[in-house]
Amino acid sequence: MRVLPPISLLVSCFVFSALSRVNLISGPLQAVPPTAERKAIRGDQTQKENSGQKPGSQVQHAQAIIQRARRAFRNSDRKRALGILASIPAQDGAGHFAAGQMLVEEEAYAEAAREFGLARRTYKDRYTAGYDEALAFLNAGDCGSAIHTANELLNQGFQTAELADVAAMAYLKCGKKSEAYNAYRLATHLDPKDEDAYVGLSEIALDRDNYDLGAEVANIGLSHLPNSERLLVERGVMHAMKGESSDADRDFLAASKLVPADPLPAVCSALVAMQNGNLDQAVRLLHQAASQHPENYFAQFWFAEALMHAGAATGTPDDDEVLHALQISVRDNPDLWHSRTELGEVSSGLPSSIPRPRVHFISWRRRTEKKAMRGKRRSCWRV
């Protein structure tokens, strides 16, 4: 039987919770209704600038250019595609904005940021162009430019919570946690119901081992968003880290009732049980989660882990279940090296070599954020 990891294992559950909620930009882009603050900004700008709409011929010309560039991208001729886009007139803000959208679809984030930046000069919705410029810089890994763009817009009077969130994420990428914390606080001031900001603040508190602060932030968020499953899970993790298992279980159970289709709360409860030595309960909860979510890499990975902690022996039915669960986890998320490593070692009969320290999982999560953004933040990045 394996030696149980310390209670910091719960943090890996928390880290995976963030991953389970992001939508990769390379995946299908969903149309997201504009927020109230963006509607207000758009309305004001549209009223002022409708008289400056481009004639139909210019719109058609830009669309033709973008289609040619798209075909070049599909033919793997990136250099030619960018050369084609360079023929869009500098004053055609709508054309540059559409080019930026196309480049996002092709995952050319740095080039998309440039197009959104050009669009800001004349496009009728300069806030959205600037917001998407900052977001593109963030996904390109240029956190400095993302910070500069977001702060520039904020200083120009575009005081929105979603923009402060982008600034905070960029600060985190640059390793500036204090600035990120302040940006998230600004976001909660601008919009007391900004769930992402409370989650971000809690994560920073968790990184600093300040579980009391993390719980306090979650409590404030829940006072505005009482039905937030994410914040309940956040608070549950803080309780678990403080050794308050019953309080943690209560929050995880409440979160599970709010979103029964999400396996995360049940998995967290199972990890609390595992840490407390209740392996039978942990295996039961994780078996249920894995059965209800047969294609969910998260549930499958932890079900396999629980079985191995319970002493699944080679050649037994439990060992077959471990192998099957890890195979599903790898298939569902090939980027999760933890599952790949475990699968290789289980297949070869070797003991697990995956380290358990919290920092390991957190650093892995930070690296994956490069191409990941929550759906609500992709204002106009859609098909």
- Extract the tokens encoding 373: 């953004």
Give the domain 1-20+262-364 fold: 1.25.40
Higher pLDDT, 230 or 362: 230
Residue 303, pLDDT > 70, answer: yes
Q: Is residue 56 very low, low, confident or very high in pLDDT (cuts 50, 70, 90)?
A: low
> What single-letter DSSP state applies at residue 263?
S
Tell me whether residue 178 is exposed, middle or buried, using C-beta atoms within 10 angstroms of its C-beta: 0 to 12, 13 to 18, 19 or more. exposed
Higher pLDDT, 12 or 305: 305
Residues 6+ apart with CB under 8 A from 176: none
Residue 226, pLDDT > 60, answer: yes
Per mean pLDDT, which range of 3-12, 134-143, 145-154 is the poorest? 3-12
Residue identified by tokens 């008289």 is 51
pTM of the model: 0.77
User: Domain 192-256 belongs to what architecture?
Assistant: Alpha Horseshoe (1.25)
- Mean pLDDT of all residues in 350-371: 38
The number of angstroms, rounded, from the C-alpha of 74 to the middle of its chain's C-alpha atoms is 27
Q: How many helices (H) and strands (E) does the chain have?
A: 20, 2
Residue 20, pLDDT > 80, answer: no
Do residues 138 and 11 touch, judged by C-beta distance below 8 A? no
Q: Is residue 349 very low, low, confident or very high in pLDDT (cuts 50, 70, 90)?
A: low
**Rounded Cα–Cα distance for residues 214 and 273 (Å):** 22
- What average pLDDT does the chain have? 81
Q: Return the bridge partners of 372, or none.
A: 24
Higher pLDDT, 8 or 319: 319
3-state secondary structure of 117: helix
Q: Is residue 193 very low, low, confident or very high in pLDDT (cuts 50, 70, 90)?
A: very high
pLDDT at residue 1, rounded to an integer: 42
pLDDT at residue 361, rounded to an integer: 32
> Sign of dihedral through CA atoms 181, 183, 186, 190?
negative
3-state secondary structure of 335: coil
3-state helix, strand, coil in the chain (%, to 5): 70, 0, 25
pLDDT at residue 355, rounded to an integer: 44
Per mean pLDDT, which range of 37-41, 131-135, 278-282 is the poorest? 37-41
**Rounded Cα–Cα distance for residues 327 and 339 (Å):** 8
Residue 34, pLDDT > 70, answer: no
pLDDT at residue 73, rounded to an integer: 94
pLDDT tens figures, 73-87: 999 999 999 999 999
Q: Is residue 37 very low, low, confident or very high in pLDDT (cuts 50, 70, 90)?
A: low
pLDDT at residue 335, rounded to an integer: 85
Do residues 109 and 139 touch, judged by C-beta distance below 8 A? yes
Q: Is residue 320 very low, low, confident or very high in pLDDT (cuts 50, 70, 90)?
A: confident
Q: Is residue 316 very low, low, confident or very high in pLDDT (cuts 50, 70, 90)?
A: low
Residue 162, pLDDT > 60, answer: yes
H-run or E-run covering 372: strand 372-373
Residue 116, pLDDT > 60, answer: yes
Do residues 20 and 264 touch, judged by C-beta distance below 8 A? yes
In 3D space, the residue among 237, 304, 221, 306 whose CA is nearest the CA of residue 15 turns out to be 237
**Rounded Cα–Cα distance for residues 143 and 169 (Å):** 8
Tell me whether residue 258 is exposed, middle or buried, using C-beta atoms within 10 angstroms of its C-beta: 0 to 12, 13 to 18, 19 or more. middle
Residue 363, pLDDT > 50, answer: no
For the chain, first and last CA: distance in Å? 51
**Rounded Cα–Cα distance for residues 20 and 267 (Å):** 12
**Rounded Cα–Cα distance for residues 339 and 173 (Å):** 25
Residue 368, pLDDT > 80, answer: no
**Rounded Cα–Cα distance for residues 214 and 308 (Å):** 32
Amino acid at 342: E
- Mean pLDDT of all residues in 347-358: 53
Report the C-alpha dihedral over residues 367, 368, 370, 374, rounded to 10 degrees.
-140
- For the chain, percent of residues with pLDDT exceeding 70: 74
Residue 28, pLDDT > 50, answer: no
- Mean pLDDT of all residues in 303-325: 80
- Mean pLDDT of all residues in 191-202: 97
Q: Return the bridge partners of 23, or none.
A: 373
3-state secondary structure of 22: coil
Do residues 270 and 301 touch, judged by C-beta distance below 8 A? no
Higher pLDDT, 50 or 273: 273
Residue 316 phi, psi dihedral angles, 5° rounding: -95, 165
> According to CATH, where is 1.25.40.10 located in the chain?
1-20+262-364, 192-256
Residue 12, pLDDT > 80, answer: no
- Max mean pLDDT among 142-146, 345-349, 354-358 falls in 142-146
